[in-house]
């Protein structure tokens, strides 16, 4: 099974180059990847011709072999995948974003706030998008002020009191 590592944002220039946003905290691995896939299986490989740091925070510019401007436009908003074997090993307290998708978010009273649906890098920290059973969505900063622990054995993210944070995001 392949894992999501980047999202195509838009085209860059007229030669088929694309702006991509990493879905990994360790985006420097992009310089070691040889190809991405468009699906969760190994169909539709896209071989990298060149990749470089782009404008803005955590943006990369990638040019795929045999992809011109018109074909590049069809890739906008697509998710790019790689084989997890291409990822470097991490330290004990580190993880890749894809590893916490669908983790349950519970507070210290064991109340379930929902499940992690997406992770958004924001610079110095990440935001986790949580969706509850009612279909409501809200963000929690992945920082010590809100998150007690990430338990990989039980697939739970234990949070502190986040009631005010959640209420402040309701429209």
Domains observed in the chain: 3-85 (2.40.30.60), 97-168 (2.30.30.240)
Residue 93 has pLDDT above 80, yes or no: no
Longest distance between any two alpha carbons in the chain, whole Å:
54
The predicted model scores a pTM of: 0.68
Across the range 105-125, mean pLDDT stands at 88
> Using 50, 70 and 90 to split pLDDT, how confident is the model at 98?
confident
pLDDT at residue 75 in the model: 94
> Please, are residues 142 and 95 in contact by the beta-carbon 8 Å criterion?
no
Mean pLDDT, all residues of the chain: 88
CA distances 22 to 64, 69, 102, 149, Å, are 16, 21, 19, 24
Percent of the chain with pLDDT over 90: 54
């Amino acid at each position: 099974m392949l894992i999501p590592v980047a999202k195509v944002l838009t085209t860059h220039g007229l030669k088929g180059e694309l702006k991509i946003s990493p879905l990994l905290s360790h985006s420097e691995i992009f310089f070691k990847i040889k190809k991405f896939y468009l699906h969760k299986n190994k169909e539709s490989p896209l071989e990298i011709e060149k990749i470089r740091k782009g404008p803005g925070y955590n943006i990369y510019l990638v040019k795929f072999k045999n992809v011109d401007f018109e074909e590049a436009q069809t890739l906008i908003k697509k998710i790019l995948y790689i084989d997890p074997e291409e990822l470097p090993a991490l330290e004990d307290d580190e993880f890749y974003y894809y590893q916490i998708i669908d983790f349950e978010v519970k507070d210290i009273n064991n109340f379930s706030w929902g499940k992690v649906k997406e992770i958004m890098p924001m610079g110095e920290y990440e935001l986790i998008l949580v969706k509850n059973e009612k279909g409501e969505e809200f963000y929690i900063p992945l920082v010590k002020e809100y998150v007690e622990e990430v338990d990989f054995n039980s697939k739970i993210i234990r949070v502190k009191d986040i009631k005010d944070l959640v209420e402040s995001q309701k429209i």
